[in-house]
Amino acid sequence: MRLIDADRLKAEIIGWCVATDDLFGMGKHHEREIVLQAIEESPAIDAVPVVRGEWIENPTKDSILCSYCYADWNLFDNDTYRFCFCPNCGAKMEDKP
């Protein structure tokens, strides 16, 4: 699945219909309205922006911190470095630990 800009898609469909109406006559208005209505009635996706962070080593403790929320994770749990996101805030971690 991918998110699209529905307003831009509708504008492009209208532009295409205008161009083809000029070439082939004025018979496509009904089909255009059906397509535009289907786009308008499509369900919206509740999306949130991606928050990015990286693991920061805490020199005073045997732990690492999330650079976004500063949650402190114990290094004795070696799986923390393998997380591709912070378990506390959900920030997506960059490739470098």
pTM of the model: 0.49
Contact 81, 55 (CB under 8 A): yes
Domain ranges of the chain: 6-41, 52-93
Contact 30, 68 (CB under 8 A): no
Place of tokens 């004795």: 76
Q: What is the largest CA-CA distance in the chain?
A: 76
10-61: per-residue pLDDT in tens? 888 888 877 776 555 555 667 778 888 898 998 888 888 889 999 888 877 7
60-75: per-residue pLDDT in tens? 777 888 999 998 887 6
